[in-house]
Amino acid sequence: MTTPEAGFHQSPVTPASLPGEAAHADLVARLAREIYGQGQALSEPFAPALPASALPSPAPASLAIPGLDGAAFAALVPGGPDLLRRIAQDHPRAASFAEAIAPGFLPAPPAAPSRLAPAAPGAALGAPDYYFLPAEPRSVPVLPVATAFDPERVRKDFPALHQSVNGHRLVWLDNAATTHKPQSVIDATSRFYAHDNSNIHRAAHTLAARATDAFEGGREAVRRFLNARSTDEIVFLRGTTEAINLVANAYGRANFGPGDEIVLSQIEHHANIVPWQMVAQATGATLRVIPVNDRGELLLDQFAALLSGRTKIVAVTQVANALGTVNPIPEIIGLAHAYGVPVLVDAAQSSPHMPLDVQALDADFLVFSGHKVFGPTGIGALYGKKHLLDAMPPWQGGGHMIEDVTFARTVYRGVPEKFEAGTPDIGGAVGLGAALDYLQGVGLPAIAAYEHGLLDYAQGGLAEIRGLRLIGTAHHKASVMSFVIEGQENAAIAQHLDRHGIAVRAGHHCALPALRRFGVSESVRASLAFYNTREDVDVFLAALRTLPRR
């Protein structure tokens, strides 16, 4: 057992002090107090396990707790290992914490084809315990794991951030709409067009082979990012919208009929409402909606009550784009699967902010867009369990998705080509692969922890702006601050901020039902990414304080 750091509380948490099941929440709170010595109480055993703001900076190198070892924890606390896994899943920064107090209880890292390399010694709390090296050498270098998350260091990688707008340093707080691209993505894309450009698969020449390798390398990067079992489960599409349309049409039209039900939540993006509505109209199915409370959190008991033998699919977002709510996807999937109902996870807003693992989640479908994960526009991906994709008919027909064509009939190829009719966005797939490599190099657990602290800081500042009402105050939130200010037009607020070089969005954010739940049809939305800093937030808050009174 390693030596505790200075300031580390020595009072032992002994197995005898853990009376059993009922002590879980107390135990976690106590461990947090033992480690951080801040009297930090945790409101729930799982969800917001360790607010990043409660963590010391720099983080202690060792979190070992005298008097508590993993085996004792497992033996004496029923559900102990499960508890730790859940904490680790729900709050990535807690992963190191959980691993430190009970080594060996976290899920094993995914196996081959990746080679695992150990994290740098002394890696900060929140940095991943391991990272992936590609199975094959790729043209895009994998960045070394950061020993501590440094926003100033990553900002240097994003050329678009270093410009002035209206005479001010650009402060980009429109990340929920789209993100900027690191130089490695720009380079990978331009290298593809400058050097390897060709259509894929069809021609037997050198550039076709290179382009095919580059395209399929992008697919492998997506597989690795999502921890899918196979690249056969990854379909390249234009983005989240097209991916949901594919599932709604290919899966929905084959499986839905009159009286069947499609369950969505009240806080979905229009992209996760309209395609289902269209397929419902075509098949006679109906939409059922999971309501939210006044903080914008899904009411899980009402969700459970909606499920029945009629339910044919559940489609929910992991992070709500207008409110920032992080939905409890593991619980949602667990409940739906108890009824044998597949779940589509809209990861458009979660993918830039938290680690994803389709196998750990047991997601049936998961969709995301390249442009929100620091990659190009016009490319995104659908993950689908292979047996579901295999059973689905193609949606669009054309070249590349066929084995054989006669005027009498067509024989389709297998997955994923069956769903990729026509020439795909080859350069986009290359850029997306580079973006995902970049994100994994920086480390999503570290990103999640950093952004959590930044969001707390920004929301604390917003609470002091007179007349400002934050819409979406979930306990578990990511990245998004939606608000209105009494007596101010939303568009006028956005224009005022733009005059100060600050980019935010004003409007309905393609989530009208979500906003209407809170009595508005528009808001101002500021949204963070890991390249935003406290200085960005300070500039934003200062500009809000100078809004002309109307």
The residues annotated as belonging to the active site are 510
Among 140, 146, 271, 480, which residue sits at the site for ligand PMP (rule: CB under 6 A)? 271
Asked if 348 touches ligand PMP (CB under 6 A), the answer is yes
- Measured CA distances, 105 to 45, 71, 87, 227 (Å): 17, 9, 11, 19
CB 348, min distance to ligand PMP, A: 4
Provide CB contacts within 8 A for 57, sequence distance 6+.
none
Contacting range for ligand PMP; rule: CB under 6 A; set: 32-40, 98-106, 264-272, 355-363: 264-272
HEC letters along 164-201: EECCEECEECECCCCCCCCHHHHHHHHHHHHHHCCCCC
CB 422, min distance to ligand PMP, A: 18
CB 325, min distance to ligand PMP, A: 11
CB 242, min distance to ligand PMP, A: 7
- Examine residue 416 and say whether the peptide bond preceding it is cis (omega within 30 degrees of 0): yes
Residue 24: exposure state from Cβ atoms within 10 A (0-12, 13-18, ≥19)? buried
70/252 with CB nearer ligand PMP? 252
Asked if 346 touches ligand PMP (CB under 6 A), the answer is yes
Asked if 239 touches ligand PMP (CB under 6 A), the answer is yes
311/325 with CB nearer ligand PMP? 325
Q: Are 313 and 342 in contact (CB under 8 A)?
A: yes
Among 241, 266, 440, 488, which residue sits at the site for ligand PMP (rule: CB under 6 A)? 241
Asked if 369 touches ligand PMP (CB under 6 A), the answer is yes
Asked if 528 touches ligand PMP (CB under 6 A), the answer is no
How many other C-beta atoms lie within 10 A of the C-beta of residue 336?
22
How many other C-beta atoms lie within 10 A of the C-beta of residue 211?
24
CB 235, min distance to ligand PMP, A: 14
Among 283, 327, 349, 440, which residue sits at the site for ligand PMP (rule: CB under 6 A)? 349
Which amino acid, one-letter code, is at 98?
Answer: A
- Measured CA distances, 316 to 7, 50, 356, 418 (Å): 43, 25, 15, 25
- Measured CA distances, 208 to 205, 237, 381 (Å): 5, 20, 22
| Residues between 462 and 521 that touch ligand PMP (CB under 6 A) | 510
198/241 with CB nearer ligand PMP? 241
Nearest Cα to 196, choosing from 432, 379, 426? 426
Contacting range for ligand PMP; rule: CB under 6 A; set: 2-10, 86-94, 163-171, 344-352: 344-352
Q: Are 550 and 474 in contact (CB under 8 A)?
A: no
Residues making contact with ligand PMP (CB under 6 A): 239-241, 269, 271-272, 317, 321, 346, 348-349, 369, 510
